[in-house]
Structure 1
């Protein structure tokens, strides 16, 4: 590249000699930026979602191309967040696309130091068995002579992005098992 070509490639030179004296348009573009296309422009579809991080429940637009998430942005139609996301919400694409994301159940045995993969059916059986054992071991028929029929062996703390219907169903499930310590993060 010659000296003249090199100097003409500088944005300040293009700003002073071209039709963009304030440097807010073409003078600021390099050959690379001139050819950039937004990740949202190539999406096949946009799926509405809710940020999973906190109790605010900011709306998100998830851009999908060929079955893969290409971008996640704030949903301007959301009455909660009006298109804005905090830094954690803006980084939720990494939850789906990170190479470090696990797509299998991992289990570490008591006193173990390593994780081992489990199939989903085995993991669900282990969870069900432990819930039933905790219920049995923590069951109380009476408390100070008063009939209570409850268990203090487990509790439920629902996540922040659960909606009213999901919280209702969780409350019903845990109440039917005798639990009394049931809460959701949205109320905390």
Structure 2
């Protein structure tokens, strides 16, 4: 027991010597002055859990611009208010002090990461896709059959994407001429 606690303040001893020996009344009650975090929220928004492709509904509670609680959304036809352990802990994903909030880039042969703004990083990716497509484009094969494809890049999607996102990614990469388009959920 800590220095501030005495044997007489031990909860089991209080229960056995008090009027609520079975622990079903006052001994089982939490503090009466407690208030749920969800009651103090300024704003509640509906969202979708980011972890897998199931798409469980979430209610996100915010106070002063910060997420304070995430719970299952009982109005969701998919999860009906339930969340798996990862979904239940997704508030930690948002509020983690180690969360990466900037784009990091490591140049070829470098040992250091550098911070880039999002526009610069997006432009770098777009330039590389366009250049790779231009350089590796195959319009026809040796027999003159139409191919209209590139083998210069591929796409491997993750299981955290929902059906709509996967549909749009498939259309984008098909339009770019890629034929190697896969998703982790199918592998």
Shorter-chain TM range is: 0.7 to 0.9
Deviates more, 1:61-70 or 1:176-185: 176-185
Q: Which moved more, 1:81-90 or 1:178-187?
A: 178-187
1:160 paired with 2:182, answer no
The answer on whether the counterparts of 2:55 and 2:162 sit within 8 Å (CA) in structure 1 is no
Shift of 1:10: 3.4
Change (3 A) 1:25 1:159: farther
Please report how far the alpha carbon of residue 155 of structure 1 lies from its aligned counterpart in structure 2 after TM superposition: 2.1
Mapped contact 1:50–1:161 kept (Cα < 8 A)? no
Please show how residues 103-114 of structure 1 align to structure 2 within 5 Å. 103-114=101-112
Flag the 1:21–1:77 CA change in 2: closer, same or farther, 3 A.
farther
* Deviation (angstroms), 1:61: 1.3
> Over aligned residues, Cα RMSD in angstroms?
2.6
Q: Is the 8 A contact 2:52 2:161 kept in 1?
A: no
2:181 equivalent in structure 1: 182
SS in 2 for 1:72: strand
The Cα shift of 1:147 comes to 0.9
User: Unpaired runs of 5+ in structure 2?
Assistant: none
Given the superposition, is the C-alpha separation of residues 25 and 42 from structure 1 closer, same or farther in structure 2, using an over 3 Å criterion?
A: farther
Say how many residue pairs are matched: 182
CA shift digits 1:60-89 (9 cap, x unpaired): 111111111001122222232232222222
Are the equivalent residues in 2 in contact too, given 1:59–1:78 (CA < 8 A)? yes
| In 1, Cα distance between equivalents of 2:90 and 2:42 | 19
- Deviation of 1:108 after TM superposition, in Å, equals 0.7
Residue of structure 1 in register with 2:79 after alignment: 81
Instruction: Please name the residue that 1:172 is paired with.
Output: 171
Partner of 2:26: 26
Instruction: Tell me the TM-score normalized by structure 2.
Output: 0.81
Deviation of the 1:115 alpha carbon:
0.8
TM-score by length of 1: 0.81
Q: Which runs of 5+ in 1 are unaligned?
A: none
Q: Kindly tell me: are residues 82 and 144 of structure 1, through their superposed partners in 2, closer, same or farther at Cα, counting changes over 3 Å?
A: farther
1:136 and 2:134 are equivalent in the alignment: yes
